[in-house]
Amino acid sequence: KKTAILISGRGSNMSALLRAAADADFPAEIVAVISDNADAPGLKAAEAAGVPAIAVPRADFTDRASHEAAMEAELAEREAELICLAGFMRLLSAGFVARREGRILNIHPSLLPLFPGLHTHARAIEAGMRVHGCTVHFVTPQMDAGPIIAQAAVPVLPGDTADALAGRVLQVEHRLYPLALALVASGRARMENGRTMLSDAV
């Protein structure tokens, strides 16, 4: 399945997806990396990996609709069927999401539905959690609330800082996102009536 990755920054999850997709047996092909931020380090990494790296800076557009339309044009040109949000820090409109139900994935650094939004690692420590982790889910118009595809957990250790915990979570993010994309791209996980259906083959 032709897949585009949307980023805003570092792009370490993007790199993990590119590495996985480099395998001929991987069911998704990454056809473009699009960033809403021209300075995103991830764009350079995508370029270095030989993947079309396209900046569509939000600052170049007067409103969200025209910015989204420009991204839509890039997605259409590359014939992207699936979209992976990977540290993409912008909310997509309900229309954009509705047109692609079950075809947009996001990775979030918490065990959803706990800790949607920002500063998840600090909030998990503050809450006294003993486990924390990450979630890949289908994107719905409401932020960080779509049906869960896959999750991975890590321990919260005594004396953990938000940064230390973030690093531990990031390692499992890099394993989880390719796995979740493979499930969706191969049809083994799909969104139906607002839920994730996993086929028996999993």
Contact between residue 137 and residue 106 where contact means Cβ atoms under 8 Å apart: yes
Tokens standing for residue 163:
């940064």
- Rounded to the nearest whole angstrom, what is the least distance from the CB of residue 86 to ligand GRF in the complex? 5
- Rounded to the nearest whole angstrom, what is the least distance from the CB of residue 201 to ligand GRF in the complex? 27
How would you class 86 by CB atoms within 10 Å of its CB: exposed for 0-12, middle for 13-18, buried for 19 or more? buried
CB-nearer residue toward ligand GRF: 145 or 170: 170
Whether 193 has a binding-site annotation, put simply, is no
Whether 75 has a binding-site annotation, put simply, is no
Cα–Cα distances in angstroms (integers) from residue 73 to residues 48, 50, 66, 68, 173, in the given order = 23, 21, 11, 9, 29
Residue number, nearest CB to ligand GRF: 87
Q: How many CB atoms lie within 10 A of CB 50?
A: 9
Cα–Cα distances in angstroms (integers) from residue 20 to residues 1, 6, 14, 24, 170, in the given order = 14, 17, 10, 9, 16
Whether 176 has a binding-site annotation, put simply, is no
CB-nearer residue toward ligand GRF: 73 or 131: 131
- Give the interface with ligand GRF as residue ranges (CB under 6 A): 7, 9-14, 42, 86-87, 107-109, 134, 170, 173
Question: In angstroms, rounded to a whole number, what is the distance separating the alpha carbons of residues 46 and 44?
Answer: 5
CB-nearer residue toward ligand GRF: 3 or 12: 12
Q: Which residues are known to be catalytic?
A: 108
- Rounded to the nearest whole angstrom, what is the least distance from the CB of residue 77 to ligand GRF in the complex? 24
Whether 37 has a binding-site annotation, put simply, is no
Binding residues for (6R)-10-formyltetrahydrofolate: 64, 89-92, 106
Binding residues: 11-13, 64, 89-92, 106
